[in-house]
């Protein structure tokens, strides 16, 4: 016999409810849970739930043991030892009925009542044993009242969570406030409930073999070849109360069968650090570095990113004709967090891009250096929607080219208004827009310096993530660098990325897009480059931490106007390889 507090509640659920009272089991990601017998009938969307406490009883006793069934009755009603046993349906066939112990507290304070001979009691031969069970508590103590109140509050609070967990797939912890344009934060495209590994150091090795039908990315000197790629991947992720840091380093070596100009070591690295200086101030540091030979980067380890990139990022959608390229983007920012909804960020950045010698005979490419400064205000209108205002100054110097002068300087003043919103647990949207004032200074063989003109900019991004599919679509138009082919250009690009879980642990990744760089900022200039690109990849985890990947990558780029013919090319690559994760060392929490 055990004693418990008990609450009687009435639960009313509406929405996704069938006419006969059944409740739909459709999860947030669109998949179906346990099939309902009324599947296919009309149901009501947007469920609501009401919890009504009908009765709260402090003293409830339950009969357990070798009885046919459990018995529950209020402890405040007069009851003898025989009654709960009778309500429980009696005893099993082999139960011992001559010495039944009833746990309780007698009025003298003892913990156990005398043993009960149930056989004698039912024959009315020993009624003296059938003692009455009484509650000796004259009233609830303060401790018991608090305990009962806390139990009720916790139950009512957790019941909606439990009901929601039945209709939704497991999810990661509640996400932070939606980001607005200008933060420069791009995260890997993930499925619903998928979370990146944190607080660990990991090391991976990979080997790939591929076929390249245009190694030099030059249609006039088209050469094909086969090659192998060897690479390693070091990642570090650490998050504490005051420090958040992530670091990725990916060195890789290409070895061609016939052409040895690209047989060199390449490097890419990325660092992001945030340090909490105090209750209201955060310090951020980021740096992205790349040194590579040839046009395409590493053939493995590339993740599909979601969201809009930084407005000061280097143009990566237009590829130049080159053997070697070095690029570096770094920045420092200080954020004042006034409240949970309001923040102000002051940031500064530095970008650099340098090119080696060109394969084709033609004009040299433009090296560039850029200094930038910005002030951003962000306000969370609700827990799901944020508003942002960004004031940005960029000062870029170009050197080395000939078509638009061997030295040129551009100054860009931008004002961006943006909104980021989480429309649902699976859909996130960011849109932005605003004017840019562009002033070009320096030599130009196709026109004089431009005193200043306004350009319209804008774009947006939408991300949809469910249990088996993740999708991102982005569109952006703004003034940026010309990727080395030009100085400042009006850059327009549309990109997409899709991840899909298939049968047999296979996963398919598809990403691509279109881009245009237009030199209409310069007077009398008619240069323009259009590009189409796409990648399709299949991945499957193998035993012992290995992953098999197969991919096809294509790019078509066409330049018109004052550019040499070598700026136009098309290229295709077919790759197969294996990555192996050697070690993951946890760093604690």
Measured distance CA(588)–CA(199) in Å, rounded:
6
**Between the CA atoms of 418, 419, 420 and 424, what dihedral angle is there, to the nearest 10 degrees?**
-150
Measured distance CA(476)–CA(496) in Å, rounded:
12
183 neighbors 571 (Cβ within 8 angstroms):
no
Spell out the per-residue pLDDT of the chain, length 589, in tens: 444 444 444 444 444 444 444 444 444 444 444 444 444 444 444 455 555 555 555 555 555 566 656 555 555 556 676 666 666 666 655 566 665 555 555 445 454 555 566 666 666 555 565 666 655 444 455 555 555 555 544 444 444 433 333 333 333 333 466 778 887 777 888 999 888 778 899 999 999 999 999 888 888 888 899 999 999 999 999 999 999 999 999 999 989 999 888 888 999 999 999 999 999 999 999 999 999 887 655 444 567 888 888 898 888 888 876 778 899 999 999 999 999 899 999 999 999 999 876 544 456 788 999 999 999 999 999 989 999 999 999 999 998 766 566 788 899 999 999 999 999 999 999 999 999 999 888 654 444 455 688 999 999 999 999 999 999 999 999 999 988 888 889 999 999 999 999 998 999 999 999 999 998 877 656 788 999 999 999 999 998 889 999 999 999 999 887 665 557 889 999 999 999 988 888 887 6
- Distance of alpha carbon 419 from its chain centroid, rounded? 18
Measured distance CA(409)–CA(368) in Å, rounded:
9
Q: Where are the domains of the chain?
A: 2-167, 187-586
Measured distance CA(296)–CA(322) in Å, rounded:
11
Q: Specify which residues 63 forms β-bridges with.
A: 71
SS3 category, 315: coil
Measured distance CA(536)–CA(510) in Å, rounded:
5
Tell me, what DSSP letter sits at residue 363? P
Measured distance CA(15)–CA(49) in Å, rounded:
9
- Distance of alpha carbon 9 from its chain centroid, rounded? 38
Characterise 331 by phi-psi region: left (phi > 0), alpha (psi -120 to 50), beta (else): beta
Q: Specify which residues 238 forms β-bridges with.
A: 245
Length of the chain: 589
Strands 385-399 and 187-188: unpaired
Q: What's the whole-model pTM score? A: 0.68
CATH class of 187-586: mainly beta
Biggest CA pair distance of the chain = 121
Q: Tell whether the torsion through CA atoms of 30, 35, 38 and 44 is positive or negative.
A: negative
Burial of 424 (0-12, 13-18, 19+ CB in 10 A): exposed
Measured distance CA(291)–CA(249) in Å, rounded:
12
Beta strands in 447-527 (DSSP E): 453-465, 469-482, 486-501, 507-518
Tell me, what DSSP letter sits at residue 453? E
Measured distance CA(355)–CA(365) in Å, rounded:
7
CB atoms closer than 10 angstroms to residue 404: 29
DSSP-assigned states of every residue in 390-413: EEEEEEEEEES-STT-SEEEEEEE
């Amino acid at each position: 016999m055990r004693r418990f507090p008990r609450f009687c509640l009435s639960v009313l659920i509406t929405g996704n409810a069938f006419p006969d009272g059944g409740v739909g089991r459709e999860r947030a990601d669109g998949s179906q849970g346990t099939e309902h017998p009324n599947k296919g009938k009309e149901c009501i969307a947007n469920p609501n739930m009401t919890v009504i406490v009908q009765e709260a009883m402090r003293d409830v006793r339950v009969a357990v043991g070798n009885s046919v069934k459990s018995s529950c009755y209020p402890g405040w009603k007069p009851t003898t030892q025989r009654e709960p046993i009778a309500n429980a349906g009696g005893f099993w066939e082999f139960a011992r009925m001559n010495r039944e112990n009833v746990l309780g507290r007698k009025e003298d304070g003892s913990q156990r009542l005398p043993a009960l001979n149930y056989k004698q009691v039912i024959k009315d031969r020993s009624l003296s044993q059938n003692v009455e069970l009484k509650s000796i508590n004259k009233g609830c103590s303060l401790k018991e009242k608090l305990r009962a109140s806390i139990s009720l509050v916790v139950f009512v609070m957790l019941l909606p969570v439990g009901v929601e967990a039945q209709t939704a797939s497991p999810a990661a912890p509640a996400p932070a406030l939606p980001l607005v344009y200008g933060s420069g934060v791009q995260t890997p495209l993930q499925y619903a409930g998928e979370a990146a590994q944190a607080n660990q150091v990991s090391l991976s090795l990979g080997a790939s073999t591929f076929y390249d039908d245009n190694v030099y990315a030059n249609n006039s000197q088209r050469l094909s070849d086969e090659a192998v790629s060897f690479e390693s991947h070091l990642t570090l992720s650490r998050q504490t109360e005051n420090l958040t840091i992530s670091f990725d380093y990916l060195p890789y070596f290409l070895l061609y069968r016939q052409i040895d100009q690209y047989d060199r070591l390449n490097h890419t690295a990325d660092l992001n650090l945030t340090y909490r200086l105090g209750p209201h101030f955060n310090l951020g540091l980021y740096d992205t570095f790349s040194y590579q030979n040839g046009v395409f980067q590493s053939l493995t380890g590339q993740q599909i990113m979601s969201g809009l990139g930084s407005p000061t990022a280097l143009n990566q959608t237009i590829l130049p004709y080159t053997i070697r390229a070095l690029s570096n983007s770094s920045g420092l920012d200080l954020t004042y967090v006034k409240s949970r909804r309001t923040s102000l960020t002051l940031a500064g950045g530095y970008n650099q891009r340098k090119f080696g010698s060109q394969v084709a005979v033609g004009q040299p490419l433009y090296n560039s250096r850029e200094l930038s400064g910005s002030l951003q205000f962000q306000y969370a209108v609700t827990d799901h929607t944020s508003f942002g205002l960004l004031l940005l100054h960029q000062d870029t110097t170009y050197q080395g080219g000939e078509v638009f002068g061997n030295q040129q300087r551009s100054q860009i003043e931008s004002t961006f208004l943006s909104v980021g919103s989480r429309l649902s647990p699976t859909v996130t949207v960011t849109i932005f827009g605003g004017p840019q004032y562009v002033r070009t200074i320096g030599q130009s063989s196709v026109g004089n310096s431009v005193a200043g003109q306004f350009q319209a900019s804008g774009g947006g991004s939408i991300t949809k993530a469910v249990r088996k599919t993740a999708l991102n679509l982005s569109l952006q138009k703004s003034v940026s660098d010309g990727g080395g082919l030009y100085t400042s250009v009006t850059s327009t690009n549309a990109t997409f990325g899709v991840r899909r879980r298939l049968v047999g642990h296979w996963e398919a990744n598809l990403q691509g897009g279109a881009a245009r760089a237009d030199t209409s900022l310069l007077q009398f200039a008619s240069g323009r480059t259009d590009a189409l690109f796409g990648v399709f990849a299949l991945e499957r985890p193998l035993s012992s931490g290995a992953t098999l990947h197969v991919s096809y990558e294509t790019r078509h780029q066409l330049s018109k106007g004052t550019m040499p013919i070598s700026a136009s090319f098309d290229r295709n690559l077919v790759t197969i390889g294996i990555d192996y994760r050697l070690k993951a060392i946890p760093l604690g929490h």
